[in-house]
Amino acid sequence: MLLSRRDRVYSLSLLIPLAAYNLALKAYDVASRPGEPKLSRTLKLMRSDVFFNLGYTLFWVGLFAATCRGALRRVMIVLFHVTSTLVAFFRACAHQYFQQTGTTLDYDIIALWGPRLDEIKPMIKLPLLSRVLLVASLLYLALGPLLLTRAVARWRGWSEGSPAGRSEASFWGPFGLFILALGFGSLSLPAGLSPAGVSRSFARDPLVNLVLTGAKGARTGDSLYTAGRAVEHPAAGAGLVRTSRTEERNVVLIHLESTRARSVTPYNEDLKTTPFLDELARSSLLVERAYTIVPNTLKASIAVNCGIEPDLRPGIEAKLGAVPARGLPELLKEEGYRTVFFQSSTQNFENFGNLAKSLGYEEYYPLEYMDTEGFERSNYFGYEDDIMLKPSEEWLKKHGDEPFVAKYLTGTAHHDYEPPARYGHEDFSKDDQLNRYLNCLRYQDFFLRNLFEQYESLGIYEGTIFVIYGDHGEGFGEHGRYVHENNPYEESLRVPLLIHDPKRFREGERVEGLSNHTDILPTVLDLLGYEVKDGEYPGHSLLRLIPEDRTLMFSCFNKGKCLASIKGSEKYIHHYGNQPDELFDLSEDPLEERNLASGRAKEAKERRAELLAWRSRINATFETGDAQPLTRTRS
The domains of the chain are located at 5-223, 250-548
Q: Alpha-carbon distance 382 to 391, whole Å?
A: 16
Sheet (strand 551-555) strand order: 551-555, 563-567, 570-574, 582-585
Task: Name, in order, each residue with C-beta under 8 angstroms of 294's C-beta and a sequence gap of 6 or more.
Answer: 300, 310, 312, 472, 554, 555, 556, 557
Which tens digit of pLDDT belongs to each residue from 300-348?
Answer: 999 999 999 998 887 666 565 678 888 899 999 999 999 999 999 998 8
Burial 587-612 (b: 16+ CB within 10 A, else e): eeeeebeebbbeeeeeebeebbebbb
Q: What pLDDT, on the 0 to 100 scale, is given for residue 229?
A: 58
Tell me what pLDDT residue 319 has.
61
Q: What's the CA gap between 532 and 153, in Å, rounded?
A: 84
**pLDDT tens across 125-156, in order?**
666 666 777 788 888 888 888 888 888 888 88
pLDDT score recorded for residue 180: 87
Strand (E) or helix (H) holding 339: strand 338-343
* pLDDT interval class at 564 (50, 70, 90): very high
Tell me the pLDDT tens digit for each residue of 515-563: 999 999 999 999 999 999 999 999 999 999 888 899 999 999 988 899 9
How far, in Å, CA of 372 to CA of 265, rounded? 30
**Proportion of the chain above pLDDT 70, given as a percent:** 87
What is the reported pLDDT for 320? 54
Tell me the CA distances in angstroms from 105 to 99, 114, 210, 318, one per residue in order.
11, 12, 8, 24
Q: Is the pLDDT assigned to residue 632 strictly greater than 50?
A: no
pLDDT recorded at residue 185:
86
* Residue-by-residue DSSP string for 576-589: TTSS--EEEETTT-
Each residue's pLDDT tens digit, 73-122: 889 999 999 999 999 988 988 988 888 888 888 888 887 766 666 655 55
Higher pLDDT, residue 210 or 564:
564
Nearest to 1 by CA among 138, 212, 173: 173
* Pairwise CA distance, residues 7 & 64, whole Å: 7
3-state secondary structure (DSSP) of residue 464: strand
| Band of pLDDT at residue 631, cut at 50, 70 and 90 | very low
CA 71 to CA 74: how far, in whole Å? 5
- Amino acid 128: pLDDT: 67
pLDDT band at residue 69, thresholds of 50, 70 and 90? confident
pLDDT value at position 222? 60
535's CB contacts (< 8 A; 6+ apart) are 234, 235, 236, 237, 238, 239, 325
Kindly state the average pLDDT of the residues 592-613.
Answer: 92
Domain 250-548, CATH among 3.40.50.620, 3.30.1440.10, 3.40.720.10, 3.40.1710.10: 3.40.720.10
- With beta carbons less than 8 A apart as the criterion, state whether 344 and 451 touch: no
Cα distances (Å, whole numbers) of residue 311 to 288, 325, 387: 26, 12, 31
Average pLDDT over residues 493-516: 95
Q: What is the mean pLDDT of the chain?
A: 87
Candidates 90, 358, 324, 83; CA nearest to 206 is: 90
Q: Which of 170-179, 200-209, 577-586, 614-623 has the lowest mean pLDDT?
A: 170-179
Give the residue, 172 or 246, on which the prediction is more confident.
246
Strand runs (DSSP E) across 447-585, as ranges?
Answer: 464-470, 475-476, 482-483, 494-495, 497-500, 509-516, 530-533, 551-555, 563-567, 570-574, 582-585
Model confidence band, residue 35 (pLDDT cutoffs 50, 70, 90): low
